[in-house]
Chain A
């Protein structure tokens, strides 16, 4: 990183796009020219001055659908990532610091969960449970926390062998202090980078689930659902399914670019600090 720009163009562009999508999502009701599921035209109308991105398979304005979709997609992905981090980091740090039976139970449970392909596991659970947004978030977090568990567990292992951790034990610190004050600050950099990666993975995961019809239920739609609704258009050379797909890809790539930059800074920062 020596001699590199302080804020590389790619990372700047990435964070700008993320900010833009977040703002568009938050203010969707104010910005959107039409309602989320307002039927205002023919099916698959082309791009025009009236419909900037055309209309979808039922004649709804694609731009408005996309803006509301940003809101849903980002909210669900963020909520699921945060929940997954809360479960995963707590479990990982706890298992690493307690060792013994706690470690065995937690680690083996995680191994068991890791053995299932997440998408298939999600399909099974979601088809049994009633479909609602909280349940969707819970299931996504439950399937994803295993990865966070692994990262925080292995990072924490290097901290608990450090002498300062032993010193804290010798003055009889409680588990909470050991976890949050001694270990967490030292494993934060890798966890922060992992957070970005998991978030971009969650966006893709949610999109896949919705595309398969188990994610967000109509008439609300996240970007994955919009792709699904319009997928038949491909056969007729209609652009409609591509637009939400491009939005998904753009957001996922932007997050990754920013994570890369953060990761680089963290690594070089550690060396110099």
Chain B
């Protein structure tokens, strides 16, 4: 075995983009000399935050570069032969026959105008690998193995007729049809709900083992990668930080950066129970809400939030948690029930509330890119509510503005910049400062960390907790991520299909005894230890057998 060259090897791989500045082409290196080895039948996990170059390396293995991006140095070897120098036609053959790709967003990767089978069988037909009939048979048998419903007819569906998890399985099937020797998975489960992620992850793992295919598995989530990869390569700013066997890396990381990645999300807030005498700041009583005349999206939800505390609302997509936020802010008047704020009923719609009532509740949104007006400066974005809501002008305005920027741990030099010149984490901090500017008592945080990198997200969470201690503000914290809940919540509400299934103190809701859904949700959260995936699956099977 030792004489045989590895299936895929990169030697000092460099990938660059070129941009034109002042009439001259300037090179910008994204991948700065990365060497990796992948043996046949093995899975190598590539881990890193955004900008680490992990997707770029994945695409370089397919000899493909996005936009102006291309391999600028080093070698990519398949079976010991350099493939970077192949003519374009041979590269195409290579992509069709030997190396396949599974993209992050299944909804965007499939063409909505064609049936799935036409897209799945295209590669085999284009490269004349096997007759269509044979390819179709293989597709159906792969559908069966990967656990798709009605495998004989599933391929007749259009992409919109399948769920996200099903599409991701279909895409894995597409990659497997031509018996590739290597598959590049680019964050295949990131866009999925946590309970779906578990199934898809298990399906991918089973298929790779069953077909004895090698894989490059790209992810930002160490816990996910540790379930599937034999080896892990940690990347940062286009350079390799650390490479090791999965268990070695998790148990004895050598580098400081790896250690920080491993410990992210493990901070837990100590909570004390609410005093019996305390009145809730916000109370929802049997609130029901629907869009138009449709089915209610939120059904009879009753929750309470106390001053200076955090209520985490947890649930998967479609569970009604963001709708609940819209109801509280008055953007969507509820069709039933009452909202009590500070002991008084709150008018249902924003238009009916007075300025003071409205400004006591502010919101921080999920996507920092759309949360700030791209054509205003940071000064205007944070300064405007100070002027409008507090009537500050002149020196007092300037002083408070700078104070707020320092409070969210930003450099006051950023004050004249506009949002496109800031990073994601900086933008989210500006959004938090804007929400704080009206001096609200309640801030609704709608998935504020889900668009951010692991370490950046942790910084934002820590900032939110500090601000809560300093300003005694309450948070309604909407999230799908259980580790975020552990980090920040005092009380928890678990939402499922518009119902609040479990409501109570964090220690009560997140510890047994569980109701069925909470149990499934909690057991689906990936844990960073060997064999977790199999355990979780076995547990789920036992539970469903028990009913």
Residues of A within 8 A of B (CB): 2-3, 162-164, 166-167, 169-173, 181-182, 185-186, 273
A2-B20, A172-B355, A185-B376 given; A167·B371 CB < 8 A: yes
Check A166 against B388 for contact (C-beta < 8 Å).
Answer: no
Check B331 against A164 for contact (C-beta < 8 Å).
Answer: no
Complex CA distance for A169 and B365, rounded to whole angstroms: 13
Check A166 against B420 for contact (C-beta < 8 Å).
Answer: no
Most chain B CB within a 10 A radius of its CB, from A163, A166, A181: A163
Check A163 against B367 for contact (C-beta < 8 Å).
Answer: yes
29 residue pairs from A and B, CB less than 8 Å apart: A3-B20, A163-B365, A163-B366, A163-B367, A163-B370, A164-B370, A164-B372, A164-B373, A166-B331, A167-B362, A167-B371, A167-B435, A169-B331, A170-B329, A170-B358, A171-B359, A171-B384, A171-B388, A171-B438, A172-B355, A172-B358, A172-B359, A172-B389, A173-B388, A181-B376, A182-B373, A185-B376, A186-B374, A186-B375
> Which of chain A's residues has its CB closest to B373's CB?
A164
- Which 9 pairs show the lowest CB-CB distances between chains A and B? A185-B375, A163-B365, A163-B371, A164-B373, A162-B370, A163-B370, A172-B355, A171-B385, A172-B358
Complex CA distance for A172 and B331, rounded to whole angstroms: 12
Complex CA distance for A162 and B374, rounded to whole angstroms: 11
Residue in A171, A172, A185, A273 whose beta carbon sits within 8 Å of that of B373 in the complex: A185
> Which of chain A's residues has its CB closest to B365's CB?
A163
> Which of chain A's residues has its CB closest to B435's CB?
A167
Check A170 against B363 for contact (C-beta < 8 Å).
Answer: yes
Query: Closest CB-CB distance, A138 to chain B, in whole Å?
Result: 32
| A residues near B431, Cβ cutoff 8 Å | 167
> Which of chain A's residues has its CB closest to B388's CB?
A171
Complex CA distance for A164 and B370, rounded to whole angstroms: 6
Q: Confirm or deny: B350 has a beta carbon within 8 angstroms of a beta carbon on chain A.
A: yes
A2-B20, A3-B20, A163-B367 given; A170·B350 CB < 8 A: yes
Q: Which B residues from 321 to 340 make CB contacts under 8 A with A?
A: 329, 331
Q: Confirm or deny: B78 has a beta carbon within 8 angstroms of a beta carbon on chain A.
A: no
Check B388 against A170 for contact (C-beta < 8 Å).
Answer: no
Complex CA distance for A185 and B68, rounded to whole angstroms: 30
Check A164 against B420 for contact (C-beta < 8 Å).
Answer: no
Q: Confirm or deny: B361 has a beta carbon within 8 angstroms of a beta carbon on chain A.
A: yes
Complex CA distance for A169 and B359, rounded to whole angstroms: 10
| A residues near B434, Cβ cutoff 8 Å | 167
Check A273 against B420 for contact (C-beta < 8 Å).
Answer: yes
Complex CA distance for A156 and B434, rounded to whole angstroms: 23
Check B370 against A167 for contact (C-beta < 8 Å).
Answer: no
Interface residue tally on B, bucketed by range: 20 to 34
A163-B365, A166-B331, A185-B375 given; A171·B370 CB < 8 A: no
Query: Closest CB-CB distance, B475 to chain A, in whole Å?
Result: 15
| B residues near A164, Cβ cutoff 8 Å | 370-373
| B residues near A171, Cβ cutoff 8 Å | 358-359, 362, 384-385, 388-389, 438
| A residues near B371, Cβ cutoff 8 Å | 163-164, 167
Residue in A166, A182, A273 whose beta carbon sits within 8 Å of that of B363 in the complex: A166
Residue in B358, B365, B375, B376 whose beta carbon sits within 8 Å of that of A166 in the complex: B365
> Which of chain A's residues has its CB closest to B385's CB?
A171
Query: Closest CB-CB distance, A4 to chain B, in whole Å?
Result: 10
Complex CA distance for A163 and B371, rounded to whole angstroms: 5
> Which of chain A's residues has its CB closest to B353's CB?
A172
Query: Closest CB-CB distance, B438 to chain A, in whole Å?
Result: 5
Complex CA distance for A33 and B436, rounded to whole angstroms: 69
Complex CA distance for A100 and B127, rounded to whole angstroms: 55
Query: Closest CB-CB distance, B348 to chain A, in whole Å?
Result: 15
Query: Closest CB-CB distance, B367 to chain A, in whole Å?
Result: 7
Query: Closest CB-CB distance, B299 to chain A, in whole Å?
Result: 24
Query: Closest CB-CB distance, B361 to chain A, in whole Å?
Result: 7
Complex CA distance for A273 and B375, rounded to whole angstroms: 10
| B residues near A162, Cβ cutoff 8 Å | 370, 373
Query: Closest CB-CB distance, B442 to chain A, in whole Å?
Result: 11
Residue in A163, A169, A181 whose beta carbon sits within 8 Å of that of B350 in the complex: A169
Complex CA distance for A92 and B385, rounded to whole angstroms: 26
> Which of chain B's residues has its CB closest to A273's CB?
B420
| B residues near A173, Cβ cutoff 8 Å | 388
Complex CA distance for A182 and B363, rounded to whole angstroms: 17
> Which of chain A's residues has its CB closest to B364's CB?
A167
Query: Closest CB-CB distance, A180 to chain B, in whole Å?
Result: 12
| A residues near B362, Cβ cutoff 8 Å | 167, 170-171
Query: Closest CB-CB distance, A50 to chain B, in whole Å?
Result: 51
Check B358 against A167 for contact (C-beta < 8 Å).
Answer: no
| A residues near B372, Cβ cutoff 8 Å | 164
Complex CA distance for A88 and B293, rounded to whole angstroms: 33
Complex CA distance for A171 and B434, rounded to whole angstroms: 10
Query: Closest CB-CB distance, B310 to chain A, in whole Å?
Result: 20
| B residues near A167, Cβ cutoff 8 Å | 362-363, 365, 371, 431, 434-435
> Which of chain B's residues has its CB closest to A164's CB?
B373
Complex CA distance for A170 and B362, rounded to whole angstroms: 7
> Which of chain A's residues has its CB closest to B375's CB?
A185
| A residues near B355, Cβ cutoff 8 Å | 172
* Residue interface mask B169-197, A partner, CB < 8 A = 1: 00000000000000000000000000000
| A residues near B370, Cβ cutoff 8 Å | 162-164
Check A170 against B361 for contact (C-beta < 8 Å).
Answer: yes
> Which of chain A's residues has its CB closest to B330's CB?
A170
| A residues near B367, Cβ cutoff 8 Å | 163
| B residues near A166, Cβ cutoff 8 Å | 331, 363, 365
| A residues near B384, Cβ cutoff 8 Å | 171
Query: Closest CB-CB distance, A264 to chain B, in whole Å?
Result: 15
Query: Closest CB-CB distance, A6 to chain B, in whole Å?
Result: 9
> Which of chain A's residues has its CB closest to B446's CB?
A163
> Which of chain A's residues has its CB closest to B357's CB?
A172
Complex CA distance for A169 and B388, rounded to whole angstroms: 12
Query: Closest CB-CB distance, A84 to chain B, in whole Å?
Result: 24
Query: Closest CB-CB distance, B22 to chain A, in whole Å?
Result: 10
Query: Closest CB-CB distance, B543 to chain A, in whole Å?
Result: 38
Query: Closest CB-CB distance, B387 to chain A, in whole Å?
Result: 11
Complex CA distance for A268 and B467, rounded to whole angstroms: 40
* Residue interface mask B341-364, A partner, CB < 8 A = 1: 000000000100001001101110
Given A163-B371, A170-B363, A172-B358, 18 other A-B contacts at CB below 8 A? A162-B370, A163-B370, A164-B371, A166-B331, A167-B362, A167-B431, A170-B329, A170-B331, A170-B358, A171-B362, A171-B388, A172-B388, A172-B389, A181-B376, A185-B375, A186-B374, A273-B374, A273-B420
| B residues near A185, Cβ cutoff 8 Å | 373, 375-376
Complex CA distance for A93 and B75, rounded to whole angstroms: 55
Q: Which B residues from 385 to 410 make CB contacts under 8 A with A?
A: 385, 388-389
Complex CA distance for A181 and B370, rounded to whole angstroms: 16
Complex CA distance for A182 and B375, rounded to whole angstroms: 8
Query: Closest CB-CB distance, B384 to chain A, in whole Å?
Result: 8
Q: Which B residues from 406 to 456 make CB contacts under 8 A with A?
A: 420, 431, 434-435, 438
| A residues near B375, Cβ cutoff 8 Å | 185-186
